[in-house]
Amino acid sequence: MKINHIFISHLHGDHTLGLIGLISSFNLNGRKSDLHVYAHKGLENNLLFNINFFVNDLNFKVVFHSIAPNKHQVIYDDGKITVESLPLKHKIPSTGFIFREKRGFPNIRKELIEKYSLTLAEINAIRNGSDLTAADGHIIPNAELTFYSSEPRSYAYCSDTMYSEKLIGMIKNVDLLYHEATFASTDESLAKQTGHSTSVQAATIALKSCAKKLIIGHFSSRYKKVSFLEDEARAIFENTIAVEDGQVFEVPIVRR
């Protein structure tokens, strides 16, 4: 019930068919708040049809936001976090997403508050980016007065997609990268044929984009075990984990 925004990468059934069941469950549990769905335009009419067909007396509003699969742009911004769309390369139009924390207001160095006898008005102005004009008239740059206690975090989701170096610049230095690794390196031709990536290709994207951590998933059912896919990826990008359903990954706060 805490979910308010859902981002759909593409219009294949394994990424969309659960949506109507989730909406129905929300309704049965008495949801009242709006639910925002971000997806390619083609899903809107289908979703509305299924809601009308399967859900009786919907008690909340489903707000549909159409996204352009070929554009890298901000599609959500609530003042604390932004979500950007990432054009992917699949058999049908597909979109990845990068979630970024926005940098908040800086802290003011306590010793300078006393040194310059700063008023509340001056403190607020400095936190909003202003420089300080001292009593003798010289200007003290904002950067010398303030500091940030931690770095904003970021998470990129890239599935379904073939290997695409166009992603590298868009996800540069991301803290956590999820990249599909449907196939083993020995099945690279099959990956290309079906519009997917191998474990080695996912690791290569992580390495070239300077990601801090890689999680891989969306594994083909042909593999009874996926530990060898993790091993393949780790040979290129050591900080890789092959995910299992239900796992939770916390992006740590980096203190400055």
Catalytic residues: 14
Neighbouring residues of 58: CB distance < 8 A, sequence distance ≥ 6? 23, 27, 51
Query: Which amino acid, one-letter code, is at 11?
Result: L
**Angle between helices 18-28 and 42-54 in degrees, nearest 10:** 40
C-alpha torsion 150→81→18→64, nearest 10 = 180
How far is it, in rounded angstroms, from Cα 202 to Cα 199?
5
Q: Which secondary structure element, helix H or strand E, spans residue 177, and what is its range?
A: strand 176-180
Quote the DSSP letter at residue 234: H
